[in-house]
Structure 1
Amino acid sequence: MKKIAIIGGGAAGYFVAANLGKVVGQQTVLFEQANLPLQKVRISGGGRCNVTHACFDPLDLVEFYPRGKKELLSVFYTFQPGDTMAWFDDRGVELKIEDDNRIFPVSNSSLSIIEALTKAADENKVQLNFSDGVQDISKVDGGYQITTKSGTQFFESIIITTGSTPKFWKSLKGFGLKIIEPVPSLFTFNCKDPRIEGLMGISFENAEVKINQQKLDAEGPLLITHWGFSGPAILRLSAWGALKLNDAAYKFDIEINFVNQTKDEVISLLNTKKQQDAKKNIHKYNPFDFPKRFWISILNYCQIDEQKVYADLSKKQIETIATELTQGAYKINGKSTFKDEFVTAGGVDLKEIDFQTMQAKKSPNLFLAGEVLNIDAITGGFNFQACWSEAFIISEKLKEIYQ
């Protein structure tokens, strides 16, 4: 009889299965309601799979997690990004560190990661039940009873790696576990504003975005989209402000510095242009490294005539342009989330978990990993790293129990 059930065929669930070894693997069943596993891995990083991040000191690594920082420290001392790289390298998957420290397979294909995980699970003889979602979990003498479309089975241990599926949070409440109500964590900002209308696709290499009333700020690449603003700076801000922005019903004001310079520095630059390029047309000569279309949009918004040359700029006009570029105020009205890569803040309260084993304190042999927990991170491979690390700890504990 099988003794272990893994519920959820995502990154965490598969990494548990991939690390069990044959002795324990043959005692394990993995249940996944979809007909294909590892869906988030498949589409991560535009299909390239951002496996992890090149941050190898656990003390630094935990700083990228708005929720879970304290609890993950011991987890990362057990298994961190260097261990992840070694794991995949040992299985023939070469990884590369990109300029922004994100780590991808050299193949630039998530299939490389998927094949390594599925091959390891197969080698461990884990029984895979696809299109067989778990409908109910109940605690019984000596273990747990799981009901799926195909029937009811008993297991001594279960591992919950179901992601942000509300149905399973309800089941876990039945075990006496406290659930933090989930809210979106990574999302883009909806904004309708004449300054960015028709400018989708324009990006800024290093912008600073602030939500002053919430005392939140983030830096990084910024992208104008057809619905508003996106890019790493926005996603970081959404992660750190997930709870506050949910409370604000996603209606708030942001301040954007598009040029990574102070207002005084921009004023000085424009005054220099007024002296050195006095006869140059302002609309035709963009002194910044962002696309000309945005420069023209800002000039039009500031009511700078198309025929003006730099010599014509008044002190007030220069200050207005500088304000727009370094302290531009935009009203946000709503959010947009990536349905397939949806990340939440919320889930099982971290006080309920023993992070030495990833076991529920109130329910022996009930293990949890991944997004079912109230842990989330900014973009860059950090959410996957939490999955790999938590799953590895679970697999080690299961081997200790059943091997």
Structure 2
Amino acid sequence: MLPNELLFTLISYLSSPDFVQAFFGLNRRFNTIVLESARYFSFPSNIARKWLINSMPYIENVIETISLETTSVPNIFPCTYLFLNLRTIILKYSSSCTVELNVERHSAIGAIISCMNILRLCKMLPLDEANKLSLFSSNYWLTEDQQVRKIYVLFEILFTQLHIKVNDVDNPYVNSIAKLITSYQSSLEHVTLITRTSQLMFDGRCLETLFRPCQRLKKLIFLFEYTNKEINILEQLHQFQSDWWLNDRQPPVLIQRDSDGQIFIGSMPCIYPVSLKFSTDLKKWSLNKGNLDPWLVYFTKLLNSRTIPLLPNVKHLNMNLCDLDGVKARTLITWLIMSPNVKELSLRLKNNTDRMQLGNELNKLVKTYGGLRLIFDRIETVNVLPAQGECDATLKLDMFFIFSDLFPRAILPCL
């Protein structure tokens, strides 16, 4: 009999409607697995109405997240389906644009129509996309002369989080992004803005104009990449040195240009992939305030397509072979970063105190820099536990829990 973990893996290769049709109703065990997998449900655009009639009643109230295209909304949200546990709707309204809606405390269809109205009035929703819902939602569409804020009255929905990621945008689309942000300056708390274009769309003054009125803003993340060999980097840096930007509430901003003329402007720390090849000369790293402290630099995306791993052939990292007085947490992480293909790790430390200290230090670093989890997840074997008789069972169990949490996919054999 196959274990449940393997069945979940097999189901992950099927579309959501297919795994329900294939496995639901076989027996109680498969029903449980299907219902657990259906908590996140993705509806294809060509979903058959017959499938909805036959299968939806069995799964509608276990679904917590729905992913669908705007064209499927009339079929998925008729009055007959309740979706009692629905928390999130991922709405795809074009091939490259996606909106995530939190509907835990709001009407699902109200949130969808509200969102579509906002995007249409901000001219971020193409007219042909808006027309797809015109028959279904004719009573909800607002005309051009009505204000976006009237949506608040209709559905009592405020945007608190906004994540925008676009490539090759043109100026009209930038104006639409600015209009969207302006419409929700009173409620926005977390904003992420990522653009990769041929010319600069947002500079320091523009961002300050957009976000200075956002009194509830707690976290601002942005990353802009574009190419321009003529632009004055010092002028760009100066725009991020106003009183508002120098305030401790605003993130530090890094600006850098490489030899090809590609420019990076981003809030720090940067946790998203960057195509620009950073200079190894830290004097060329232009920061708008403060010093380039280590906490500003994340290693999660250090190894990208333009970076050659230093030790790609190392499969077993044996710290016993290093002439070191114990293994330090940061030293170990540095070696793991330089050796991206390591599968086995040997950490035979001098005593149990050193083992516990290393485990606790690594745990603190993982909690501080969540991206380190990706590095630890690739390790398959960790030789760190003491040999039989070196410590009592309770201490050994504590060590096991510490390192199994750090290396969740690894085997932890006794030495």
Q: Give TM-score scaled by structure 1 length.
A: 0.22
Q: Give TM-score scaled by structure 2 length.
A: 0.22
Higher strand fraction: Structure 1 or Structure 2? 1
